[in-house]
Structures are given as structure tokens and as C-alpha cells.
Amino acid sequence: MLKLNSIKKDYKTGDFVQHALKGTDLSFRENEFVAILGPSGSGKTTLLNIIGGLDRYTSGDLIIDGKSTKKFKDKDWDAYRNHAVGFVFQSYNLIGHISVLENTMMGMTLSGESLTSRRNKALSLLEKVGLKEHAYKKPNQLSGGQMQRVAIARALANDPKIILADEPTGALDSKTSQQIMELIKEISKDKLVIMVTHNRELALNYASRIVEVKDGCVLSDSNPAILNSSSGNLNIKKTSMSFWNALKLSFGNIRTKKGRTILTAFASSIGIIGIALILSLSNGFNIEVENFEANSLAQSPIMITNQTVQMDADTLNELKGNNGLKKYPSSKKIYAQDDLKEKVIHTNIITSDFVNYIDNMDMDNVSGLSYVRGTSVNLVSKNADGYSLVDNGSNLTSNMLPESPNDKGILEKNYDVLAGDLSSEAGLVLVVNSRNQINLSILESLGFDKEADFEDILNKEIKVVFNDDYYMKVGNNFAINPDLEELYNSDSSKTVKIMAIVRGKEDKELITSGNGLFYTKALADEVIDKNKNSEIVLMQESLDYNVLTHQDFSETMTKEMFLGYLGADTVPSAIYIYPKDFETKDNIISYLDKYNDGKTEEDIIQYTDMAEMISSLSGDIMDAITIVLVAFSSISLVVSSIMIGIITYISVLERTKEIGILRALGARKKDITRVFNAETFIIGIFSGVLGVILAYLLTIPTNVIIESLSGLANVAKLNPLHAVILIIISLTLTVIGGAIPAKIASKKDPVEALRTE
């Protein structure tokens, strides 16, 4: 079944070549007890290692069950060691951090047997060698003889055809040696047992055949075997260690080094702690910002004005001059830059069709709606010292209150009524700032000094003067009537009062920061209705120059703009849409976008989303800060990865003998890699979880400090998704850090590894 044909083995050290075996020819029967005798350095252990597939011959051929091994690959030798060979070593070579039972099962684990099957078989073998009651002990809890019995049980576990014993009694006393030899002799009744020893007496007493070697050559063979040639029929199953088994093996090793593992995990988790705290603060501040936005920005207007500024990335680059030209060039040339005005500014053509489109949208999404027109509202006040124009030159562009299409609209949600009542009637509303302030010119034009009581303001009568009274015809032109008393007392003027004094709510400062004298939509509509057919409007429509200034129109004041100022045009110059909340804002934006479907670039209507602009800016700033801080903290992650690599390499050095044992049992190189990857996997998971837990605990004092400094409570909040991602990052970096040492471990020579103490 086993034949060595002219086996030679050479070891090279520089230019020196040592011939360990010099053309050995040997054949072995299926069941016999062969003792190989020889002094130290005779080549007997090398011969045993070559038979066991631990070492490779330089030339010749090893034939197993009639099959040549010349073309064996690593995986074939691994499978051969696992299924066909069982090793019994002088130093037992048990894995110290796993139990006796797990040591016995290891070979079967590599062969892929089920847990139940290998457990039952291992317990049966331990019972056979008299150690069943010690199955759950660690090897260091056994005597030398007991450990050798475990090694024999392990060697028999996969029912191999060949048992190779290297000085199996070398470390035992005479009585224990005799017991072990009796056990091995019993095994040789149905298996081939090849034992290497320098003890001639032991060989003569137990072996059925003695082969003597010296200087790499066979000197004698007491019972040579003659094997008939047969075709190769060797069929052995490939070995494999599952990642789960690799995890269990590595976890057992880690448990023996708890202190170092905890310190390693803590050191590698420092980066995770830093990033987790940064993300906790970022997440908490983002939540605070979102809450603030929900309360303060949700009803910020979507503005549709005559002109909008659009800034995309390409336009910004062109504005900055990033058009392929080098900054601060040394060349003595001047280059032209395109006028980007047309690219940056878009002119909206607001038509009556678009106004109808706005009127037909779902008003359940709208908290407030304001059509801004350029019509001047002329107000005259009677004061103690005479008459005055109120807020002279004011118009609806900046002073029109938004209309509330629902019962509780933009005004009620965002303003506190300090005095009076809000209604939809034609009238005025005074809006003060957070300190109850109003522009001095408005107060003075109402007839007050630097302060006024609410009651006095609410009782103040003001006259709205229409065009036919406000403008006097002088030939073919017009002029403003300077007689304010006449205007105030005109029968056609309209008497109004300030209906209410309002102030923006404390949490709505971003959208209620303006102050002044505002007009209701009803008043604006009445003014436009009266003025659109006034004499000045009718004449201005027929002339191409300004009937007030007697000058030609220009780009800054076109005929259409001036007619709008006089009240001739009912199409608004701007529209302000106030959504109820962020969800309804999205609905409104979708509705506005649909209007542009199929339209040319000139006809589309572009809008400005104030809430989006502010929240995007705050979000970008927060994201930028977070990225910078995370980048700094990530440096510690890289350092941790390097440290894990060093720790794993130390573990490789410490577990070199274990590597040799696993290779002797048939573990592949990739299985060894998997064992150490499993170890770094465990450390990575542990350090990630530890980092997240510690970061979570650190958010408690962090929140206390922030609350004491800023008044914001529970700002640091670790997002569970961030926690999971950080654990995955920790795991990934740790595995990457341990990859090179794991690869180094897989390439270790099993013979050299077994010699490590």
C-alpha cells in the first residue's frame, strides 16, 4: 500500500547542500508495526515526515495505494494527511487552549464531519484509551502519558490507514512507555504503524519489523515487503475548515489572553469612540436643526419673482474663472471672460395663466399666499401739526400681508396679536419686531414721536387716496397733488384704521423678522380696482414717455413697470407661497415643477425655496464640520489597524506550533489564514462594540456639559445605524490589518512550525 522509490531529500543552506536521504527504497504492508532505528541525524525523522506528507522529497517517488504522488498539489497532501495518516509526536503536540475532546475532534472537523458524528466518535476513542472522564479538561490538566493517549486518540479519529509515531515514548517514564507501546501494538493489528525511535530494546520488544538507517541510507530491513504493482486507486476527500470552526478555535485562544485582548480591543476602539462621539453630536445637532427648521422654516415662503438667480456648479466655476486657465499665470496675455449675467439670472414671465394655475392648486397644502404687485398705496395721516404722507413711496411689493386660504393660516401660526383683531377686511396691520420696534419714519408719519401706546395707534384714522385725487393733470402731463389736507378730506378717499398690532412668535424669527405697515389683500384689490381706470393710467397707456417725470422710459423703469406702479396691471410681479410644513412644501414644489413640463427655457417659471436654501446651508456647514472631525479621528483608526497587524503577527509567532499541528492534521494554507482572520474578526467585532458602548456612555457627561454651556439638552444622540456602520468599519479595518500576518502564518513550513516551543 505504501512504497518509496529512490527517495532523496536535500537541504540547501547557501552553497552548502546536505543530503538527508540518499535514494531510499522501502515498501510497507497494510498492517504491520515497523520500527525505524537510527542515531540522531540519520534521516529517520525526515523519512517519517516525507511518508506523512509534512515534507517534500527532492527526487524519487512516494507511491500510495498504487498512485504516484509526483504530481500532488498542496491540497492533495493536505487531504492525504487528514484522511490517510495519523501522527503521534514525542511532545504530544496538543492545542492547549481547547479541551481534550476538541483536540480529538480536530482532524474530523477538518474533514467536514457533522458535530454529532465527530463528538460521538471522539468520546468513543477517548473511552478506548481510558480518558473519557477527562474529555472536557484542558491538556495542561493531564499527565504526560494521558496527553500521549489523547494524541493517539486524535491520530485514530479519521480512521487512517497509516499511523506515524515519532519517538512516542521519548518524554515518558518506563511504565507509561510500556502502556503506550502496548496501545500502539494493538493498533498495528489492522493498520500500518511506522515508529521512529533510537531505542533498540523498545523496537525489538514491540515492532514486527525493524528498519535501520544511517547517514540517509537504509542499512537493514528485518522483514522486507514486496508489493505487487497496482493502478492508482487512492481516493481521499478534500479537507476544509469552516469559518465557524475557525472562530471557535480562535475564540478559545483569545480566552487564554483575556487581558491582552481587552487592552488591544480598547486601544483599537479609541478611533471608533472619537468618531461615534462626533457622529452623536452631529446627529443631535442635526435633530435640533431639523426641529428648529420644522418650527421656524417650514413655512418660509417659496418665492416666485420677476428675476431669480440660479447657481449651479458649472456656473460657479465660470464665475470663479475656473475655465481651464491657470491661476496667476506668468504669460503676458489678457483673456476674455464671458458675460455670465444671462446664465446666472433667469427672468420669469408671470402671466395671468400662471396666476390661474396657482389659484387652482390644492390649498390644503398652503398656509399663506401673497400676490405682490407694484401698485403704490397712497396713505395720508392727520397729525397734531398738520398732514403727512404715511411711509411715503411704500407699495405692495414689500408691504402686503399674505392671504390665509385656510382657517388657521400663516399669520395666526407665525404672529402673536398684541392688540386689535386680524381679519380679511380692507385695512392695515402694524408689524413690530421682537422689541416692539417700528421704523421711526413710520411712527412720525402717523403723528407720534419715538413711542406710542397700542390704543392710540389702533384709534388712528388714515386715508387711502386714489389716483384721480392724488395726481393732478397739468396739460398733457401729471403731477402729485401737494395739498395733503385736500387729499385727506376728499369724499372719494377711503378711511382705514390699523386693525391689529402683531409681533412674530419667538420660534419664528427667521420668517417674521421684518417690520412695518402692512396692507391686507382686500385693501390692495380695492386700490387696484379703483386705479386701473384712472385718468393718469389711461393717458399713460397712450404715451411712450413718463407722464410724471416727462422723461423717456429705460431698462430700470419701463412703461410696463410704471403702469404697474399706477395700478394698471393686475398681474403680480411676485408670488409668495407659504407651505404648512415640509411635507406640503414638497407637494407645492412638485405642483410648480409640473407647470414647466414641455415649456421652453424662456417660458419656464423658476422659484426660490427659502427653507431649502437655509437648511441646505446649515446642513452643508454641519456636514463639513463633521467630515473634518471624522477625518481627524480616522487617523486613529489607521493606527489601530497597524497595531492589530502587529498584535496578529505576535499571535502568529505564539501559535506557530499550533499552525504546525493543524497542518499535520490536514489543514490547508487557506484554513490557517482563516484561523487568524477569525481571530482578527473577533477582535474587530469586540473593539467596535466596545467603542460604541463607551461612546454611548460618554454622551451622558457630554450632554451635561453642553446643557450647562448652551441650555440645549440631550444633544449627543448616537444613531443606531451609525453604531452598526462603525462596528462594520472596525471589523473591516481590523481584518485588513491582520490580513498580512494571517498570510504569513499560512506559509509557515509545518515541519519547522512543529519544532517550535
Range 615-624 average pLDDT: 59
Does the structure show a pLDDT above 50 at 696?
yes
Spatial separation of the C-alpha atoms in residues 375 and 397, rounded to whole Å: 8
Cell numbers given for 669: 494554507
pLDDT at 339: 60
Cell numbers representing residue 521 in the block: 389683500
Helical H runs in 193-297? 200-206, 243-255, 258-296
pLDDT of residue 37: 93
Q: For residue 654, what pLDDT band results from cuts at 50, 70 and 90?
A: confident
For residue 218, the cross-strand partners are 213
**First-to-last CA distance in the chain?**
34
Amino acid at 534: S
Beta-sheet strands, E only, within 455-531:
461-465, 471-474, 477-480, 494-504, 516-519
What are 404-446's pLDDT values in tens digits?
665 455 677 778 899 998 877 888 989 888 888 888 888 888 8
Q: Are 291 and 331 in contact (CB under 8 A)?
A: no
Nearest-angstrom CA–CA distance, 749 and 754:
9
CATH of domain 2-238: 3.40.50.300
pLDDT, residue 464, reads 93
Question: Whole-angstrom Cα distance, residue 164 to residue 151?
Answer: 11
Q: Residue holding cell 474663472? A: 321
**To 10 degrees, the CA torsion angle through 617, 618, 621, 624?**
-100
Q: Is the pLDDT of residue 149 over 50?
A: yes
Mean pLDDT of the residues in the chain: 83
Instruction: Identify the CA nearest to 663 among candidates 6, 80, 19.
Output: 80
CA angle 453, 455, 459 (to 5 degrees): 120
Q: How confident is the model at residue 248 (pLDDT cuts 50, 70, 90)?
A: confident
Please give the Cα distance from 718 to 699 (Å, whole number): 8
Cell digits of residue 635: 487617523
- Distance (Å, rounded) from C-alpha 310 to C-alpha 464? 39
Compute the radius of gyration of the chain from its Cα atoms. Answer: 47
- What's residue 295's pLDDT? 58
User: How deeply is 571 buried, as exposed, middle or buried, from its count of CB atoms within 10 A (0-12, 13-18, 19+)?
Assistant: middle
pLDDT number for residue 489: 93
Return the amino acid letter for 261.
T
Q: Count other Cβ atoms within 10 Å, centred on residue 684.
A: 29
Beta-sheet strands, E only, within 554-615: 574-579, 608-609
Which pLDDT does position 395 carry in this prediction?
Answer: 43
Question: For the segment 491-537, what is each residue's pLDDT rounded down to a tens digit?
Answer: 999 999 999 999 988 766 655 656 788 888 888 888 888 998 899 99
Residue 397 pLDDT > 50: no
Q: Cα dist. 233→62, 64, 236 in Å?
A: 14, 9, 10
The residue with cell 477625518 is 631
pLDDT for residue 745: 85
Q: What is the dihedral of CA 132, 134, 138, 141, to 10 degrees?
A: -140
C-alpha cell at 545: 414717455
Report the pLDDT averaged over residues 219-224: 91
pLDDT computed for residue 393 by the predictor: 46
**Model-level pTM?**
0.57
Residues of CATH 3.40.50.300 domain(s) within the chain?
2-238
| Segment 98-139, tens digit of pLDDT | 899 999 998 888 887 888 998 999 999 999 999 999 999 999
Residue corresponding to grid cell 529512490: 6
Contact predicate 672/662, CB 8 Å: yes
